[in-house]
């Protein structure tokens, strides 16, 4: 290896390992898109780089390409017309297998060093990636920068830190000496070699291609596997840039660039299935619908499959000090990226008899109206609102808004189309708030998008029971609760631990239930149907490699 | 908890964690059945305890028992007539679920403390368990004592050490403080709770009920799960004693004894399937045939399934210094417990052009004859031989010997029935050595028992290729090789690492390929079809629990 990237990044690695253990706040990648952090020209450079991709062949050389593919359209109304090399699934597999032969020999230091260098360079390209994320996912720029850039890089680094920590526990060469009483001891030498599983397939989603894609990509790469990145056909660009940078680092380090490959494809073809079922694919990371995730778990039996799927996120309101701050916090969570987050709350349970507040009793209707007002207030100024809501990523979500309206439930706040001051063609919607009864079966499924049900329950006890049951049966990534009663808080915590869902209590300030911080918050628990793994923990990395030992007498 | 077992055993736990990291020799449980170690009366006490079980109701109180079951017959010819409580699968599940409610609240220190106390008491009952293992599995007494007692306890402790190490990395309560420039930082408290998966099912095998059963049992128990132990109907007693001791410790510690339950059943009923498919069963550890293991992996989809199944273990002979010591070592491996070990070698590849030795060239026929002679010599004195071979556990293995004979291959050493000086009814057989060509498809399947093929290959290159391919396609727990050539050794090691099988090089002394040492040797790699997990590593424990967090503002 010409460059010892491991040595270059050893300090940040040690800090990452330490941060993941203490779980206090830590991040090496600034979330502020400030010129003071990223340089005076960073934003312009990033925008120009993004614009240079538009209407062009994406600059990625992959052998065996049989043509070009790509039909991304920005949810803000701009056709991107980026054309990516199209390589058939068997050709990708063949090249990945060939790259594996040398990559597997490089060993943990090289795997981790290369992974860390890629993350460093991704960070330097955070603006370019931010524009790519914005114009494929529909996120507002600030979220596209933070979640698509530094926060995604944090999650990638976190996975590398876990991988390194586990691998570092395996000694290389060991002397083993077993006493034999008065006789000479039995002596052996034992060598332990970490071997990768094989080819890792990362299946990207259309809403958080980098944030949800990096953990699997970096966990697999850092444990010696080669990686085929298969983006969602409507959000290729952020991952194409990622793959391009990864391949540049690999070449600089003296490795085969095909250790990381891009599998761009059209929505209509079967590339995903062909890759997922190939016997050489031993690891699959997937973010997307339960239908596709369940299919992978059932059919790709040759692989370890890590999935994040659908769920029904919930809020329990029992009692509050200051209702306005509760409503403000929740309204932001409803509107943020138009609820197109796997962590966005959907069902808000409120006792039909109302709740206690510091200023006295509030009826159910007052609570429901208060939430609706907070949404209206947040989205009152379209110019400000669009920065929170971003745009709707795809037509399916618009259809779901119509479908929710057609349920015929009382409308607390209707979803309004907002004009985007910058992008005429942007599809922007405010959240739809509907009132529902706890017994309504419609609330038991995920309504991905800006669709919220304020649900009348018999009591807080009933809210807790319904929330638990929904987590167990339909899955959830988040549970949020508001209560001023310690005993109720304790009860909800117990329920969350039993059902296996993370709990946020009394969020009224600048932290929202949708958000998790790498190195501190686990994303997902792996304990309910919404996800079979957590980002990141030992279980997420420890089965991506195996240890093969050789022993002999001294 | 009346007794702080964690505190009592903290020192041994720390030593175990450290031993698993350095992987040198270590064991807290003496493998010597010496009165100086275990006490003057330990052997007699153990034998008397074993004899007291015979012909009686096993002293285990399990509520909801609908009768008694059990028809174990010692492979040494003695009917045991021990009668175990029979509890229907749904009743076992119900009681285990109830026990889980309090056990899950006890937390890691209590889980690990109880597990360590159980291991300590199991060690004190090593003789009793040894007799129970001997007379259910057919192992000779020394192996029954060592593998069924201290070595099994070592593997249990190893699993507890890994579980503790992983769980100890999760902090309890954490302060998280995110700087906000000139503004006050955002402060949160976060509590991380380790929650068990649920009910763990341990499916025992007939040959190593404790050695193969303890890792899963203790890994699950130490991570807060309740455990239902389902022994093989022909080897119930060793696990019944284990469950009895576990329940005594649980009661002494103030917990529900139903945290560990026994599911004794008749060979003909569907208890195993009913338990394995119950939705409350979240973890399954299985040792047995590939047919049953594959069935579990395919059907028990609600559970994490850890399997050790069939495989074809192999030996490559390329060149040797002293052939006699090679043959002696291999003959012992063939004869040890009559090859009824998942690690016993089956196919021995020898180039048809012969091999190099320090004393010159040896032809294939000379090598084959030399191996056969070594077997004959080892088994020449029946009184000594039976201590090595033990007895044949079941009629299926006797039938396989006949089936192998019926292949019509040249017989290098025929399997002979030996008279056991102590047990008239013991079914004892010497190894059957057959000569086969590399192209013979019969050698591609497992011939569980004392059946060995000395296989003529085109060259050492061909031996390596065939061994690799067999590991990849049919699985293997062990690969052994003999070569005096460093380059060949390196090539075989690479092949082993690619195929994913542990390698033993040039064993000619007191270490045999069949044996692995806890805390140093991984048993299985989890990288080939013979087993989907290794004993023990992080991956074996890290997914038996999940972490659920609760966060709130300071």
* Token pair in block for residue A302: 């040759």
Which residue in chain B is spatially nearest to A519 when comparing CA positions? Answer: B176
Which residue in chain B is spatially nearest to A504 when comparing CA positions? Answer: B551
Asked whether the predicted pLDDT for residue A265 surpasses 60, the reply is yes
pLDDT, average across residues A196-209:
98
Q: Determine, for residues A539 and B543 on separate chains, whether the beta-carbon distance falls below 8 Å.
A: yes
pLDDT of res. A245: 98
pLDDT, average across residues B234-256:
98
Which residue in chain B is spatially nearest to A511 when comparing CA positions? Answer: B186
Percent of chain A as helix, strand, coil, to the nearest 5: 45, 20, 35
pLDDT of res. A282: 98
Q: Determine, for residues B537 and A547 on separate chains, whether the beta-carbon distance falls below 8 Å.
A: yes
Q: Identify whether A9 is preceded by a cis peptide bond (ω within 30 of 0).
A: no
Query: How many CA within 13 A on the CB side of residue B10?
Result: 8
Gap from A58 CA to chain B (nearest CA, Å): 35
Q: Determine, for residues A550 and B496 on separate chains, whether the beta-carbon distance falls below 8 Å.
A: yes
Bridge partners of B285, per DSSP, are B202, B306
Asked whether the predicted pLDDT for residue A1 surpasses 80, the reply is no
Within A157-303, strands assigned E span 173-180, 183-196, 199-203, 226-230, 260-262, 281-287
User: Which one of A178, A180, A483, A493 makes the best mutation probe of the B interface by having the most chain B beta carbons within 10 Å?
Assistant: A178
> Residue A551 is nearest to which of B297, B504, B509, comparing CB atoms?
B504
Residue B191: closest CA among A346, A180, A311, A489: A489
**Chain B residues in contact with A527 (beta carbon < 8 A):** 195, 197, 546, 548
What share of chain B in percent tops pLDDT 90?
99
Using alpha carbons, list the distances in angstroms from residue B529 to A201, B335, B397. 21, 25, 22
Q: Determine, for residues A193 and B25 on separate chains, whether the beta-carbon distance falls below 8 Å.
A: no
8 Å CB contact between A364 and A438: no
Q: Determine, for residues A551 and B521 on separate chains, whether the beta-carbon distance falls below 8 Å.
A: yes
pLDDT in tens, B451-472: 999 999 999 999 999 999 999 9
Which residue in chain B is spatially nearest to A197 when comparing CA positions? Answer: B527
8 Å CB contact between B552 and B188: yes
For residue A347, the Cα-to-chain-centroid distance in whole angstroms is 21
Q: Determine, for residues A517 and B176 on separate chains, whether the beta-carbon distance falls below 8 Å.
A: yes
* Token pair in block for residue A520: 């501190």
Which residue in chain A is spatially nearest to B304 when comparing CA positions? Answer: A532
- CA A454 to CA A368: how far, in whole Å? 6
Which residue in chain A is spatially nearest to B167 when comparing CA positions? Answer: A538
Bridge partners of A547, per DSSP, are A194
Which residue in chain A is spatially nearest to B189 when comparing CA positions? Answer: A24
* Token pair in block for residue A172: 């290389």
Q: Determine, for residues A501 and B188 on separate chains, whether the beta-carbon distance falls below 8 Å.
A: no
> Residue B501 is nearest to which of A177, A548, A552, comparing CB atoms?
A548
Q: Determine, for residues A553 and B507 on separate chains, whether the beta-carbon distance falls below 8 Å.
A: yes
> Residue A548 is nearest to which of B502, B506, B520, comparing CB atoms?
B502
Phi, psi of B353 (to 5 degrees): -85, 0
- CA B94 to CA B100: how far, in whole Å? 10
Looking at residue B267, what DSSP letter applies? T
Asked whether the predicted pLDDT for residue B2 surpasses 60, the reply is no
Bridge partners of B100, per DSSP, are none
Using alpha carbons, list the distances in angstroms from residue A51 to A58, A257, B207. 12, 25, 68
In a 3-state reduction of DSSP, which class is residue A104? helix
Evaluate the CA torsion angle A387, A388, A389, A393 in order and state its sign.
positive
Gap from B396 CA to chain A (nearest CA, Å): 31
Looking at residue A95, what DSSP letter applies? H
Which residue in chain A is spatially nearest to B166 when comparing CA positions? Answer: A538
8 Å CB contact between A307 and A531: yes
> Residue A25 is nearest to which of B24, B178, B504, comparing CB atoms?
B178
pLDDT band at B361 (very low <50, low <70, confident <90, very high): very high
Q: Determine, for residues A179 and B505 on separate chains, whether the beta-carbon distance falls below 8 Å.
A: no
The mean predicted confidence, pLDDT, of chain B is 97
- Residue A22 falls in which region: left (phi positive, over 0), alpha (psi -120 to 50) or beta: alpha
In a 3-state reduction of DSSP, which class is residue B187? strand
Gap from B367 CA to chain A (nearest CA, Å): 22
Residue-wise DSSP of B102-114: HHHHH-HHHHHHH
8 Å CB contact between A504 and A479: yes
Q: Determine, for residues A493 and B550 on separate chains, whether the beta-carbon distance falls below 8 Å.
A: yes
pLDDT of res. B515: 95
Asked whether the predicted pLDDT for residue A272 surpasses 80, the reply is yes
**Chain B residues in contact with A169 (beta carbon < 8 A):** 21, 538
pLDDT, average across residues B54-69:
96
User: Which one of B549, B553, B554 makes the best mutation probe of the A interface by having the most chain A beta carbons within 10 Å?
Assistant: B549
- CA A398 to CA A379: how far, in whole Å? 18
Gap from B376 CA to chain A (nearest CA, Å): 26
pLDDT of res. B1: 45
- CA B22 to CA A172: how far, in whole Å? 10
Bridge partners of B126, per DSSP, are none
Asked whether the predicted pLDDT for residue B347 surpasses 50, the reply is yes
Which residue in chain A is spatially nearest to B483 when comparing CA positions? Answer: A552
Q: Determine, for residues A178 and B25 on separate chains, whether the beta-carbon distance falls below 8 Å.
A: yes
End-to-end Cα spacing for chain B: 32
The mean predicted confidence, pLDDT, of chain A is 97
CB proximity list for B494: less than 8 A, separation 6 or greater: none
> Residue B525 is nearest to which of A500, A548, A553, comparing CB atoms?
A548
Q: Determine, for residues A553 and B506 on separate chains, whether the beta-carbon distance falls below 8 Å.
A: yes
In a 3-state reduction of DSSP, which class is residue B52? helix
Q: Determine, for residues B538 and A537 on separate chains, whether the beta-carbon distance falls below 8 Å.
A: no
Asked whether the predicted pLDDT for residue B450 surpasses 50, the reply is yes
pLDDT band at B3 (very low <50, low <70, confident <90, very high): confident
* Token pair in block for residue B145: 């004592």
For residue B462, the Cα-to-chain-centroid distance in whole angstroms is 31
8 Å CB contact between B346 and B313: yes
The ipTM value here is: 0.97
Which residue in chain B is spatially nearest to A524 when comparing CA positions? Answer: B548
Which residue in chain B is spatially nearest to A282 when comparing CA positions? Answer: B527
Asked whether the predicted pLDDT for residue A356 surpasses 50, the reply is yes
Q: Determine, for residues A543 and B547 on separate chains, whether the beta-carbon distance falls below 8 Å.
A: no
8 Å CB contact between B222 and B164: yes
- CA B321 to CA A32: how far, in whole Å? 68
For residue A48, the Cα-to-chain-centroid distance in whole angstroms is 27
CB atoms within 10 A of CB A533: 25
**Chain A residues in contact with B498 (beta carbon < 8 A):** 195
User: Which one of A515, A538, A541 makes the best mutation probe of the B interface by having the most chain B beta carbons within 10 Å?
Assistant: A538
**Chain A residues in contact with B511 (beta carbon < 8 A):** 186, 188, 551, 553
Gap from A176 CA to chain B (nearest CA, Å): 5
**Chain A residues in contact with B21 (beta carbon < 8 A):** 169, 171
pTM of the predicted structure, to 2 decimals: 0.97
**Chain B residues in contact with A25 (beta carbon < 8 A):** 176-179
Q: Determine, for residues A174 and B511 on separate chains, whether the beta-carbon distance falls below 8 Å.
A: no
Asked whether the predicted pLDDT for residue B59 surpasses 50, the reply is yes
User: Which one of B550, B553, B554 makes the best mutation probe of the A interface by having the most chain A beta carbons within 10 Å?
Assistant: B550
Task: Provide the pairing of β-strand A183-196 with A545-553.
Answer: antiparallel
Count A/B contacts: CB-CB distance under 8 Å: 176
User: Which one of B27, B500, B543, B544 makes the best mutation probe of the A interface by having the most chain A beta carbons within 10 Å?
Assistant: B543
* Token pair in block for residue B35: 């009165």
């Amino acid at each position: 290896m010409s460059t010892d990237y491991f040595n270059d990044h050893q300090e940040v690695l040690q800090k990452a390992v330490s941060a993941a253990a203490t779980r206090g706040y830590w991040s090496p990648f600034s979330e502020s898109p400030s010129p003071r952090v990223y340089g005076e020209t960073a934003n312009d450079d990033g925008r120009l780089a993004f614009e240079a991709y538009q209407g062009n062949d994406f600059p990625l050389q992959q052998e065996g390409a049989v043509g070009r593919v790509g039909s991304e359209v920005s949810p803000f109304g701009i056709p991107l017309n980026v054309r990516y090399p199209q390589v058939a699934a068997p050709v990708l597999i063949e090249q990945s297998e060939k790259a594996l032969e040398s990559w597997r020999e490089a060993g943990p230091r090289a795997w981790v060093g290369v992974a860390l260098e890629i993350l460093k360079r991704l960070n330097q390209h955070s603006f370019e990636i931010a524009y790519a994320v914005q114009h494929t996912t529909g996120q507002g720029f600030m979220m596209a920068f933070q979640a698509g850039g530094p926060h995604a890089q944090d999650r990638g680094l976190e996975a590398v830190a876990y991988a390194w920590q586990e691998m570092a526990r395996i000694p290389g060469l060991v002397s083993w000496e077993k006493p034999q009483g008065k006789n000479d001891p039995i002596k052996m030498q034992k060598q332990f070699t970490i071997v990768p599983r094989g080819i890792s397939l990362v299946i990207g989603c259309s809403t958080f291609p980098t944030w949800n894609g990096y953990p699997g990509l970096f966990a697999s790469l850092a444990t010696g596997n080669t990686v085929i990145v298969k983006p969602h056909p409507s959000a290729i660009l952020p991952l194409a840039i990622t793959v391009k940078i990864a391949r540049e680092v690999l070449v600089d380090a003296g490795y085969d660039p095909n250790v990381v490959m891009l599998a761009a494809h059209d929505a209509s073809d079967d590339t995903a299935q062909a890759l997922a079922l190939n016997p050489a694919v031993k690891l699959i990371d997937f973010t997307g619908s339960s239908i596709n995730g369940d299919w992978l778990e059932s059919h790709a039996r040759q692989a370890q499959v890590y999935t994040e799927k659908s769920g029904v996120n919930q809020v329990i309101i029992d009692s509050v000090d200051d209702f306005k701050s509760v409503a403000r916090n929740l309204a932001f969570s409803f509107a943020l990226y138009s609820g197109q987050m796997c962590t966005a709350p959907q069902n808000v349970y409120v006792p039909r008899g109302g709740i206690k507040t510091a200023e006295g009793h509030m009826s159910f209707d007052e609570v429901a109206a208060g939430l609706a007002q907070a949404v209206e207030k947040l989205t009152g100024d379209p110019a400000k609102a669009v920065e929170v809501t971003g745009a709707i990523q795809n037509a399916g979500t618009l259809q779901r808004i119509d479908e929710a309206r057609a349920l015929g439930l009382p409308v607390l706040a209707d979803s309004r189309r907002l004009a985007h001051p910058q992008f005429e063609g942007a599809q922007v919607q405010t959240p739809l708030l509907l009132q529902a009864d706890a017994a309504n079966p419609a609330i038991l499924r995920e309504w991905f998008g800006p669709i919220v049900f304020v649900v009348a329950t018999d009591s807080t006890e009933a809210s807790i029971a319904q929330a638990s049951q929904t987590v167990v049966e339909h899955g959830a990534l988040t549970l949020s609760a508001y209560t001023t009663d310690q005993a109720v808080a304790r009860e909800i915590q117990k329920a969350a631990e039993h059902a296996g869902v993370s709990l946020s209590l009394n969020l009224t300030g600048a932290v929202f239930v949708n958000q998790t911080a790498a190195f501190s918050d686990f994303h997902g628990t792996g304990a309910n149907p919404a996800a079979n793994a957590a980002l990141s923990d030992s279980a997420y990395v420890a089965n991506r490699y195996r240890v093969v030992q050789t022993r002999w007498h001294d």
